[in-house]
Structure 1
Amino acid sequence: MTDWNQMSDAEFRKEVRRFFETEYPAELRNLSHRPKFAEIEHWHKKLHAKGWVAPAWPAEYGGMGLNAAKLLIFYEEQQRWGIVRGRDMGVQMVGPLIIKYGTQAQKDYWLPRILSCETIWCQGYSEPGAGSDLANLRTRAALEGDEFVINGQKIWTTMAHDSTHIFMLVRTDPNAPKKQQGISFLLARMDQPGITVRTIKTLAGEEEFCEVFLDNARTPRENLVGEMNKGWTMAKALLSFERIFIGSPNLAQNALIQLEGFARGRGAFEDPVFRDRFAQAALDVEDHAALYTRFADQLKRGETLGSDVSMLKIWVTETFQRITELMVEAAGPDGGTLGPLQVGNVGMDVLSSFYKARPTTIYGGANEIQRNILAKAVLELPD
């Protein structure tokens, strides 16, 4: 078994880049939509055969066991090559929680099935009235014998219609004195009579998000991960890594490259006002990349990230939005056209990029919430 951490960072980056550039299907690069598993199953099988499905998992559980420095390189190379996020919520979210909090029986049963995608997961967190303020969730689970009976509703559940299982936060003690208390972490099958899924069509015409209705849905008691009523602690367990990966500069960097090529083909750089706005966006991207490097270096040194990491998510998503707005401007009267616009031999779906940028300031904790975190935890401003 290869110990990737013994390689130099440069050697590791070269190895990862070679594999991605050689093996990743060209038709899947920089997809504008979240694919169903059937679209990317052949790529997942390649990763699984190579042992690269779970780069952050310990090697003893079938992962690559990468340290923080190598893990950042792995994800940076994925983003650089336009590798689409697969059905990775099992690997990125529920798997690490099972490794940290699960019983040995849960590890033995669930982890191999997550790696192989025998189980495909969706995240049941957000609810109507409990999005960024997740502790307000109202979905309840009552223990009846050896089963939990679950009632409530989840919303914005990504790819629920293409999932076999759901991991969710539920309220198991409605009388807890604080709203963060009395919450538990459950696993459940999606193919049962008590669960109804309705897709939500986006502005771009895609059906990526879903509503999930739970009407006396059931799951065995052994599908409780961690302690009863301690789910809130688990929900925050991976927060630092989630924030830094959401705040990666690649989102804005790739958009800027696309904008420059498209704008030159459309002659937009002949306008001095456009040139000035492009230069400002380019400087924002460079400044953000420098800030990202600072936080990445903290992880490489084994340090815990502080609340100031929220700056990354705010900066990259709002810069990304401004860049896509410039794309629409550069398209002129074609800016409202859905579908690829030709520039030479290259097609650019300007409107799709614009739509894709809209929710980025909301998911992963709305930017308003991130600003509140900075105000209270970093600047120590009064409520």
Structure 2
Amino acid sequence: MRKIKAAILGAGFIGQAHIEAVRRLSFVEVVAIAQSGQDKAEQSAKLLNVPKAYGNYMDLLKDPEIDVIHNCTPNYLHYEINKQILLHGKHLLSEKPLTLTSEEAKELYHLAKEKNLVSGINFNYRQFPMVQHLRGMVRDNELGDIRIVRGNYLQDWLLYDTDYNWRLEPEYGGKTRAIGDIGSHLFDLTQYVTGMKITEVMADTAIMIPQRYKPLKEKQTFQNGGKENASLVDVSTEDYCSVLVKFDNGARGVFTVSQVSAGSKNALVLNIDGSVASGTWKQEEPFRLTIRYRDKPSETVLRDPGLVKKEVLPFLHYPGGHEEGWTESLKNMMQNFYDAVEGKMTHSDSVASFAEGYQIMLIIDAIVKSAKTGTWEKVESIS
């Protein structure tokens, strides 16, 4: 049986993670990689044991062998590259955000609808087994009517003024940083698990470190920096945001995102408060759910094939106690995406669509506007 041929654009932290995850699928082969410049592409291809190297992604798009392309480039390149991938008739899995603006996201959403191709966005936190179980509990009304949703996504990789990355620069990362980079995951996860839509927001943002030391030589994401061989530059994107939200069913919520919270490495937490019970999932402890009640003791549900809902079983692969984490969530993403490419199943709702990516950009627009006006702002509907 012919294997599906995949190519990766960008070989940084997330590009390498995509390659590792795809290689765990028996019916897909990573055959090409593209970087900015032929020498850089060849170095990455050799390091990652990928047969073909392209210094220009447009040349890669003309390769008839390639069926699927993963766009793992920096944010500012997403729109044009995603557009070209679809126009060249390749299936597409894009890193988030889909684009830097809602106008660009709208265009890609309509283009993806026009093309008979599989397309998706890597909001991989949907793919954790216990996220799927919590979603099932909400759907089956085991928490009751959802009244309040509380969430946070905290990191510390930008805690010091010597920490720097291209994501700090709006021309490369976008007009928001903490909101767009990690807040997008939180907003997507909330809507996916609850089935509710964010319709109105009131936000507060802050730049905690107004100046940082930018290294003369670029570093990878999460690498430590220093003051030597660096210049002091102004920062214009937020380190922190808290936002109050209203949902389409009348529920309320509050979310905080930060990239300067010491000791928080990847602290994504989702709390759902219903009329019967509350549920909490923590990404740094992904194998458990905590369910709390008023009139009886709290429960802990562990990631175990015998304890989770039947529909969760495809998302877990090992017995209880053999823990699965972030890398498995990415592997699940690839499995569900490539099953659709191969035609084994329709597009799984666990893979975020371009419509959902567009909607996240509209939420971000409303948050940015609210932070400026200091008032409640409505989230525009998809058009």
TM-score of the superposition, structure 1-length normalised? 0.25
TM-score of the superposition, structure 2-length normalised? 0.25
> Larger % of strand: which?
2
- Larger Rg, first or second structure (1 or 2): 1
Higher relative contact order, chain-length normalized (CA < 8 Å, sep 6+):
2
